[in-house]
Amino acid sequence: MNKRPFILKGNIFVNNYDEYIIGKIVKNNNVEDKSIYIQVLDMQHLDLFSEGYKGYIFEDKPINLDLKNINYCCNINNYETLIDNDVVEIVNNEWIRLLYRDDSDDNAIVVTNQCNSNCIMCPDADMVRNTKENPDIKKLLEHIRCIPDDTKHITITGGEPGMLKHNLVCLLRECKEHLPNTDFLLLSNGRVFANTQFTNQIFENVPRNFRIAMPIYADNESLHDEITRAKGSFEQTVRGIKNLIDKKIDIEIRIVVLKKNYKQLKQITRFIVKEMPEVKIVNIMALEMTGNAYKNMEEVWINFDEIKNELYSACIETLKAGIITNLYNFPLCKIDERLYSISHRSITDYKVRYKEACAECSIKDECGGFFNSTIYVKDIEVKPIMIEE
C-alpha cells in the first residue's frame, strides 16, 4: 500500500514569476537534461549540487552554496519519501504537492474541481466543486510533460473535465504526443459530448489507448436528473454517449448504486444493452461516503445486504449481452459469490480499509474492502470467509 504524503511542508523560497514550479524528481544524483527536473539532495550528497535545475529540495539549508537566484526548499517534512521520477509542484512559500507517484499505477490528473452537475452522492463537497481556483492549462501541460513516458496508466478527472472546453482538446493532444504508450481513462458525466462539433475535435486528438467512463444512474430522465440534480442531464449524457460511439471511442458506463436507484438496477443494465450495445464495459460501483454523499446520507445510503439480489440480476443482463461487467468498491462477503470473478480491488491504495474481523478472512487479498469514508458510516457487519487448507 502506498501511503506517501501528497503535501509536504517546510521552508520554501521560489523566485519564479509564475509562483509555482512543476518538475520531475532526481534524488542524490544528476541528469543531463535538467530543464524539467527538481534535484533533491540530502546532507551527504551536497557535492552533487549542479546549477540549471528548475528547483532544489535540500535536507537542510546548505551553508556553502549561493542560493540567491535559485528556487529551493529546505527542512521539508517527509522530503525523504520522494523518489526518482515522481512529479511535484512547488507552490510559492507554501508547500510541495505530489502530482505523480512513480511507484503507483493509480495516478490521476485532476483538471478542474468544477462541474455542470451536482450529483446527490458526489464524493466532492459543494465547496470543492465551486472553487474558482482551478489549475491553469499551462500548469496541466507542464504536469503531463514531466510524467515518465513509460507510465502505464493515467486517469484524467475532475470535477467535470468537459468544463475545460477547448483546453481539454489541448490537454488530450499533449497526452497523445508525450505519452503514446500510456492507457488513459477520462472520467466525465458525458454531457459536453452531446455537442457533435466538440466530440469531433476530441476524436481528432485522443491518445491511442483511450477510454471515456460516463455515468447512467437510471433508465429514464426523471430519476437520472433527480440524482444529478441537473435538468436535461440524462438526455445530454445519452446523446453524448451515442456521439462517442459513432466515433468508435471506447466507452465505459458507470452505475453508482444508491438508495434511489438500487431497485432499478436491472432496468438500467437492460437499457444499456438495448440503447447502446456497443459499450465496452459496464462498471457497477458502491458509494464513497464523502462530500455530498455524506451530507445526503439518509437519501443515498443503502446497506450492501439490500442490494445483493438486484446487483446479481443487473450483472446477468450485461454479461449475457457480452459486455464486460465489473463490480467496484464492494466487499466480497456482501455480494453473491457467483459475482466474485467480476469484483475488483478497485479502491485507491491510500483509501482502502478493512474491518478488524477481516484479518481472519481467507479471501482478504482478493477483497475490494471499504473506502476509509464508508467503513464506519453505518454498522456494516462483515462475514469472514474461511476456506479450509
Q: Which residues bind ligand SF4 (CB under 6 A)?
A: 331-333, 354-355, 357-358, 361, 363-364, 367, 369, 382, 384-385
Q: Which is nearer to ligand SF4, 21 or 367 (CB)?
A: 367
Q: Which is nearer to ligand SF4, 207 or 368 (CB)?
A: 368
Locate cell 503535501: which residue? 7
Q: Which is nearer to ligand SF4, 215 or 369 (CB)?
A: 369
Instruction: Round to whole Å and give the CA distance between 113 and 111.
Output: 7
Shortest distance, position 361 Cβ to ligand SF4, whole Å = 3
Residue 27's nearest CA partner among 90, 71, 84, 73 is: 84
Shortest distance, position 287 Cβ to ligand SF4, whole Å = 15
Instruction: Round to whole Å and give the CA distance between 286 and 284.
Output: 7
The 10 Å CB-count burial string (b at 16+, else e) for 328-337 is bbbbbbbbee
Instruction: Round to whole Å and give the CA distance between 17 and 262.
Output: 52
Residue 284's nearest CA partner among 300, 308, 250 is: 308
Residue 110's nearest CA partner among 79, 94, 133, 126 is: 133
What is the sign of the dihedral through the CA atoms of 93, 99, 100 and 105? Answer: positive
Q: Which is nearer to ligand SF4, 88 or 333 (CB)?
A: 333
Q: Which is nearer to ligand SF4, 63 or 359 (CB)?
A: 359
Shortest distance, position 334 Cβ to ligand SF4, whole Å = 7
Shortest distance, position 100 Cβ to ligand SF4, whole Å = 30
Give yes or no for a contact between 239 and 198, defined as CB atoms under 8 angstroms apart: no
The 10 Å CB-count burial string (b at 16+, else e) for 263-297 is ebbbbbbbbbbeebeebebbbbbbbbbbbbbbbbe
Q: Which is nearer to ligand SF4, 176 or 334 (CB)?
A: 334
Q: Which is nearer to ligand SF4, 162 or 331 (CB)?
A: 331
Shortest distance, position 204 Cβ to ligand SF4, whole Å = 44
Contact residues for 151 (Cβ-Cβ < 8 A; gap 6+): 100, 107, 179, 182
Shortest distance, position 102 Cβ to ligand SF4, whole Å = 29
Shortest distance, position 203 Cβ to ligand SF4, whole Å = 41
